[in-house]
Amino acid sequence: MSGIQICGTGRCLPENIVDNNEYARIVDTSDEWIRPRTGIVTRHIADGETTWRLGERAARQAIEDAGISPEQIGLIIVSSVSADFATPSMSCIIQGAIGAKNAMCYDIACACAGYVYGLDMARRFLACGDIDYALIVGTEILSRLTNYEDRSTCVLFGDGAGATVVRAADALYGASLGADGTGYGLMFCKNPPPASPFTHNPPEQDAVYSRPEGPGHMVMGGREVYKFATKVMPQSLLQACEKAGIQAGELDWIVPHQANVRIVQTAMDRLGLPMEKAWMTIDHTGNTSSASIPIALDELHRAGRVRRGDKIGLSGFGAGLIYASLVFEW
């Protein structure tokens, strides 16, 4: 069985912390409305930090925790929907900053499932034996995509980065990854139209371009996304457990995407597992998209709550619509 071992973890959160009461000053909302519906109390919002810098700082922590040198890393995968630049990639910039001169690099845009996608991609490279270590980074500044006039979404998002160093291991492993592209219009952020002097017509109409919302802001159909998430999270975790040869009840921890506490509660109930097995950070991080799971993993690790041999389940879901669950031994 070709599995993985997490050798080191790291995270970086902006120093600027914004609580629910501060949102109540700019939109029609309140702590009493936000907290029970989302589980969010505070979130970190970038104030001068950049996406790649957050990722770099998380990566340095993970490498130090792993006890290896940057030159030993053979692959860097960065997941982000809020990259600083269209090009070059965040992975290349982070590679240069940390001195991982032997690493191949690429970015992925798999939204809130991106870290789990990256981890499974890294496992496949590691299984070939071509590299010894991989670095997976989820880094986001969602505040640059947030519409602070939309009270239903602006309170949800936070900024931050998480990273892990992994290597191959002879250990149990199972993954279930998938997508439903017919739901692409349920969560989106439009790019601005081309600024070409040769472009005269509006974009071809589809499920996104037919919407009235302007470019640059995250748009989400909350009810439909909730239904999708509460279905695919338990379903894909059960499939991952089956591939790993275990029952869901054997999992010591589940580290879910921190989107909404109600989603996680419903999914855990459908799995027949107590909420105490779900490691939650949403109360102080909000939804950080692809950074949420590696941030939570780092907190779990540094809190001393996970031991070698513990069976861990990860599950992410988001825009695409996309989902990914993974089961491995710590």
pLDDT at 279: 98
Mean pLDDT of the 165-191 span: 93
Superfamily of domain 3-171: Thiolase/Chalcone synthase (3.40.47.10)
Closest CA to 285 of 188, 143, 184: 143
Characterize the bridge pairing of strands 311-318 and 219-220.
Answer: unpaired
pLDDT, tens digit, for every residue of 120-170?
999 999 999 999 999 999 999 999 999 999 988 999 999 999 999 999 999
Which pLDDT band, with edges at 50, 70 and 90, does 201 fall under? confident
pLDDT, tens digit, for every residue of 285-317?
999 999 999 999 999 999 999 999 999 999 999
Assess whether pLDDT exceeds 50 at residue 100. Answer: yes
Mean pLDDT of the 253-264 span: 96
So where are the chain's domains? 3-171, 174-184+215-329
pLDDT at 181: 92
Name which of 1-5, 35-39, 278-282, 291-295 the model is least confident about: 1-5
Burial of residue 242 (number of CB atoms within 10 Å: 0-12, 13-18, 19+): middle
Tokens of 127: 């299984």
Query: Alpha-carbon distance 289 to 97, whole Å?
Result: 23
| Residues noted as catalytic | 112, 257, 287
| Helix H or strand E segment including 236 | helix 222-244
Residue bearing the bigger pLDDT, 112 or 199: 112
Name which of 31-35, 64-68, 197-201 the model is least confident about: 197-201
pLDDT, tens digit, for every residue of 215-245?
889 888 878 889 999 999 999 999 999 999 9
Reported pTM? 0.95
Q: Is 308 helix (H, G, I), strand (E, B) or coil?
A: coil
Whole-number mean pLDDT of the chain? 95
Q: Measure Cα distances from 261 to 39, 152, 178, 268, 280 in Å.
A: 5, 15, 23, 11, 8
3-171 against 174-184+215-329: fold identical: yes
User: Which runs of consecutive H residues, i.e. helices, occur in 129-215?
Assistant: none
Which residue reads 């880094």 in tokens?
139
pLDDT at 1: 47
In percent, the amount of the chain with pLDDT more than 90 equals: 85
Instruction: Describe the crossing of helices 261-271 and 31-38 by its angle, rounded to 10 degrees.
Output: 30
- Tell me, what amino acid is at 300? L
Mean pLDDT of the 174-196 span: 89
Mean pLDDT of the 254-278 span: 96
Phi, psi of 209 (to 5 degrees): -65, -20
Q: Could you tell me if 7 and 167 are in contact, meaning their C-beta atoms sit under 8 angstroms apart?
A: yes
Is CATH 3.40.50.720 what the domain over 174-184+215-329 is classified as, yes or no?
Answer: no
